[in-house]
Chains A and B, each alone.
Chain A
């Protein structure tokens, strides 16, 4: 008499065991599930960015004015161009990755190696570009004054371009007065060993006020938007009043505390999200290198299966996919 069930009645059914119902290997399926969870992490960050943006919808920085630089073109403003180049590099490296996967399907070892190498190069160019973008953002451009309430006052003047009145930003260093100043940065080796401070702003509020008084055409632009979505430019009296009575510190560039382009939250989110994405790209490059060496050593040739290339390819494409969204929400929308 049978005391154990030997026949479950599920033989031959898709989910009856002994086969892969999704026609994907365990590793590949887990890579997909990892990607889903990572996508949720990124969308959490981006949704938090959207939350803060909707919260301060009246004073969010204009991305076009923040990222206008292109390497080797000093003093020229080309919004979007550089980041479009970065996007293209990443898409291109995705293409070489998928070509490597395709060559792997045909078991062409040298072709896989070549395409993997190109992918790694593309990834490195992207990470390098991002480092440059960060350093430009941190260094800043024209400078601004932060008020006691934490708002940003930018400077500029009206100019006539093609018969139209256009407000153009003026750098603080171009109009601020220079006054004798004894203040030096406190460092650990110049005083008490446990006391130090971050770098001192390039100008004081007094210097900016004096310079503003001496240049009658320079006006302050606030962060508040008018009904057309343009930032409001203050009158001459109001400009002087705001800087004199409300100005707290001169800021240039951006870090986690201040941001010359607008609310510091923008800088925080920028550093955090692009940083987290950049970290993904970096780890993708590292993983790609490992796979690249395995391809060269012939590990997958012996296995007669290049599925590892496919799995790491999924991760790499995912990094590209995230960038597509970061690009939209930081630079376009």
Chain B
């Protein structure tokens, strides 16, 4: 049962002495990321409102920080770091592929309908 835990995060940049210590370390990391998100969400700096690939830079920052948080929750809290590579891939690749596909297809369609609503002459015939 008590198999060994991998104790380094950030590609070995930070190495913890025990599993308990690693848990608290990850909590600190998640708290920092969340605070940054909340700070940006309250202040909404004007310089980050520029659009980049269809979305505001601020929103890209939010989404990437969320993915960072998701990574640490899965890897360290759910102990994915200690699982075999094959199990990791079964879970992560499947989910990531299907979710990306779903998001792409639905957002594409939503954008298209918005386009029809706002520009086309026939509005309810698409």
Q: Please indicate the chain B residues that have their CB under 8 angstroms from the CB of A54 in the complex.
A: 107, 110-111, 113-114
Q: Decide: A333 and B62 in contact? CB cutoff 8 A.
A: yes
The stretch among A55-63, A207-215, A236-244 that forms the contact with chain B is A55-63
Known A324-B70, A324-B73; contact A50-B103, beta-carbon cutoff 8 A: yes
| Given the contacts A79-B42, A91-B34, A324 and B66 also touching, CB distance less than 8 Å | yes
State the CA gap A332–B60 with chains docked (Å).
11
Give the distance to chain B from A243, nearest Cβ to Cβ, in Å. 24
- Summarize A's interface: helix, strand, loop or mixed: helix
Given contacts A22-B86, A40-B99, contact A91 B23 (CB under 8 A): no
Q: Cβ of B77 and Cβ of A99 under 8 Å apart?
A: no
Instruction: Kindly list chain B residues whose C-beta atoms are within 8 Å of the C-beta of A333.
Output: 59, 62-63
| Listed residue (A24, A52, A304, A332) with the most chain B CB atoms within 10 angstroms of its CB | A332
Pull 15 A–B residue pairs with CB atoms less than 8 Å apart, ordered by A: A24-B83, A29-B87, A35-B91, A36-B94, A40-B99, A43-B102, A47-B106, A51-B109, A54-B107, A58-B118, A91-B34, A307-B1, A313-B78, A324-B70, A333-B63
- The number of chain B residues touching the other chain, given as a range, is 35 or more
How long is the Cα–Cα vector from A48 to B103 in the complex, in angstroms? 8
| Inter-chain contacts of B106 with A (CB < 8 A) | 47-48, 50-51
Closest to B59 in A: A333
Question: A55 vs B78: C-alpha distance in the bound complex, in angstroms?
Answer: 36
Please, what's the 1-or-0 string for A298-315, where 1 marks a CB less than 8 Å from any CB in chain B?
Answer: 000000111100100110
Could you say which residues of chain B place their CB within 8 Å of the CB of A53? 110
Which residues 74-126 of A have a CB within 8 angstroms of B? Answer: 79-81, 84, 87-88, 91-92, 94-95, 97-99, 101-102, 105-106
Contact A43 B42 (CB under 8 A): no
Other-chain contact of B95, A36, A87, A94 (Cβ < 8 Å): A36
Q: Contact: A328 with B66, CB < 8 Å?
A: yes
Q: Measured between alpha carbons, how far is A133 from B66 in the docked complex, in Å?
A: 22
Among B1-36, those with CB < 8 Å from A are 1-2, 19-20, 23-24, 27, 30-31, 34-35
User: Whole-angstrom distance from the CB of B115 to the nearest CB of chain A?
Assistant: 10
Residue A131, interface by CB 8 Å: no
Question: Is A44's CB within 8 Å of the partner chain B?
Answer: yes
Query: Which residue of chain B is the closest to A322 with respect to CB atoms?
Result: B70
Q: Which 7 pairs, one residue from A and one from B, show the smallest C-beta to C-beta distance?
A: A54-B110, A51-B110, A51-B106, A328-B66, A47-B106, A43-B99, A84-B38
Q: How far is the CA of A102 from the CA of B117 in the complex (A)?
A: 54
Whether A32 contacts B87 by the Cβ 8 Å rule is yes
Q: Given A32-B87, A43-B99, A43-B103, answer yes or no on A320-B110 (Cβ-Cβ < 8 Å).
A: no
Q: Using CB atoms and an 8 Å cutoff, list the residues of chain B in contact with chain A.
A: 1-2, 19-20, 23-24, 27, 30-31, 34-35, 37-38, 40-42, 49, 59, 62-63, 65-66, 69-70, 73-74, 76-79, 83-84, 86-87, 90-91, 94-95, 98-99, 102-103, 106-107, 109-111, 113-114, 117-118
Q: Residue A177 at the B interface, CB < 8 A?
A: no
Q: How far is the CA of A36 from the CA of B93 in the complex (A)?
A: 10
Task: Return chain B residues, CB-CB under 8 Å to A183.
Answer: none
How far apart are the CA atoms of A317 and B87 in the complex, in Å? Answer: 18
Q: Provide the bound-state CA to CA distance between A97 and B23, in Å.
A: 10
Q: Which partner residue on chain A sits nearest B94 by CB separation?
A: A36
Contacts A39-B99, A321-B70, A333-B63 given: A22-B49 contact, CB under 8 Å?
Answer: no
Contact A99 B23 (CB under 8 A): yes
Residues of A within 8 A of B40 (CB): 332
Cα distance, A154 to B103, chains bound together (Å): 32
Instruction: Assess A87 versus B34: contact at CB under 8 Å? Given A24-B87, A47-B102.
Output: yes
Residue A272, interface by CB 8 Å: no
Contact A95 to B27, CB < 8 A, known contacts A23-B84, A47-B103, A324-B70: yes
- A279 CB within 8 Å of chain B: no
Residues 174-197 of A at the B interface (beta carbon under 8 Å): none
Q: In the complex, which residues 218-265 of chain A have their Cβ closer than 8 Å to any Cβ of chain B?
A: 229
A21 CB–B CB distance under 8 Å: yes
